[in-house]
Structure 1
């Protein structure tokens, strides 16, 4: 009986520690080192390492190239990364943090499935007092957001047609575009220009701009979004757009993408 009681106490203690660790990581805006965890939580180093590795193995925490740990944002709401998403987020996160610091605005990474459902994977939130922020699992309308437009613009014709036929076009603000024909034209421009803008169409007073992220095969794998209060966007829109597009290109190259020159695309005669 004594051995069983000791074993249960040990298990309960570990469960409490892992919950404490999750709560601590949830309060950290940036990735933290194992030393940070040990110092902040007063855990023995061996215990802290074992706990954080358990969370990494379960997909609730990721370890970046610098050896720092960060809570998967989705884990706050009960769903960890899918297997193919973790490498994308690990690659993109340092670029997202750099863009957040350079622009002063919130950066979000999102993907889309074959049914044109948007899934936000990670965010780096602005440090400014007035800032754009959103829960990653909050509903998102693809047709009237910059993230959604970038991903829809690169969707297959069948997927896009199916989406536009079944979606209910709601006016979230007085600026929301709900005409399917106009939306198709907008998506064609997004694909041509390489970026999308949502100017107060989803949330009044906030503007989002997004650019595509490509993988090593040249396929779109995500959209990188910069969200800002509209007043700050209007003051620096050209600079913000340039920073965003450059960062999306950097992430794409880090994923192995190589832009093919036009001359190489021409078929042999």
Structure 2
């Protein structure tokens, strides 16, 4: 009777190589591979944008080697991107050759906010709400798998992360993200589920597709999303949709507050009506 050989197990070196390859695929540069061969795609511009987005409040200064590791781009590519950004005044370096972004970068963000009807309309509304209720309010839109803040009025720091216009947070475990996901067309929602990685940020984080689908159905049924300490312990938030004239949800309005002083019931009874009123007011600007 012929013997069946047991499959060979991978060596520790092979395992390490597999892990390294998996990590490499998660780096920003890997996302550019899909455009390989597209004659109209400007790879150099894309690499420059990847380098720009690598800078964060936690890592405002980096060397070429650090940026290469963070982005997945070669050091030569990073060096060329930085050379161009420095020449144009968007970046600079200190004596230790640590690079950082320069104030000129704000002109890019200001171009968006100045041309965005929704962002311009939202800011005074949020500031009025903060003055009336003494809480922090925000407006965000969906960008890929994240929400992006386009307007914010903050009266206190409720998160360890410093939130501001342009900040990004994962959609699946935030109230604004839940609203924006819940109203996506079905094909776009299925594509999101096929690629999203649900990290366990706190013990309360919903990190299974089945539970998230149920949560999104509840959002559509109730017309709002309420998240209890899923992204950060001690933070509760509630959000409602902002609709365009065609009925498509294009943004959402949100309230964030400290869980110990803001019971769930109070968020629904006290703050849901003004949030919905603000959403309707914003929708009017889109007509």
Normalising by the residue count of structure 1, what TM-score does the alignment of the two structures yield?
A: 0.60
Paired residues in the alignment total 179
SS at match of 2:272: helix
User: Which residue of the other structure, out of 175, 197, 213, is the alignment partner of 1:184?
Assistant: 213
Equivalent residue number for residue 67 of structure 1: none
CA distance 1:89–1:139, shift in 2 (3 Å): closer
State the 1:203 CA deviation.
Answer: 0.9
Equivalent residue number for residue 207 of structure 1: 236
SS at match of 1:135: coil
Q: For residues 65-144 of structure 1, what are the structure 2 equivalents within 5 Å?
A: 79-82=109-112, 86-113=116-143, 115-126=144-155, 128=156, 131-132=158-159, 134-144=163-173
State the 1:83 CA deviation.
Answer: 7.7
Rg larger in 1 or in 2?
2
Is the 2:173–2:231 contact (alpha carbons within 8 Å) kept by the matching residues of 1?
yes
State the 1:215 CA deviation.
Answer: 1.7
Q: For residues 1-269 of structure 1, what are the structure 2 equivalents within 5 Å?
A: 79-82=109-112, 86-113=116-143, 115-126=144-155, 128=156, 131-132=158-159, 134-234=163-263, 236-237=266-267, 238-256=269-287
Name stretches of at least 5 consecutive residues in structure 2 with no aligned partner. Answer: 1-104
Q: Distance in 1 between matches of 2:235 and 2:111?
A: 28
State the 1:219 CA deviation.
Answer: 1.5
Is the 1:91–1:255 contact (alpha carbons within 8 Å) kept by the matching residues of 2?
no
State the 1:172 CA deviation.
Answer: 0.4
Name stretches of at least 5 consecutive residues in structure 1 with no aligned partner. Answer: 1-74, 257-269
Q: Distance in 2 between matches of 1:81 and 1:183?
A: 35
Equivalent residue number for residue 22 of structure 1: none
Q: Which runs of 4+ in 1 moved over 3 A?
A: 75-85, 130-133, 135-139
State the 1:100 CA deviation.
Answer: 1.3
Aligned-residue CA RMSD in angstroms? 2.3
CA distance 1:76–1:172, shift in 2 (3 Å): farther
Is the 2:152–2:164 contact (alpha carbons within 8 Å) kept by the matching residues of 1?
no
CA distance 1:106–1:77, shift in 2 (3 Å): farther
Is the 2:237–2:255 contact (alpha carbons within 8 Å) kept by the matching residues of 1?
yes
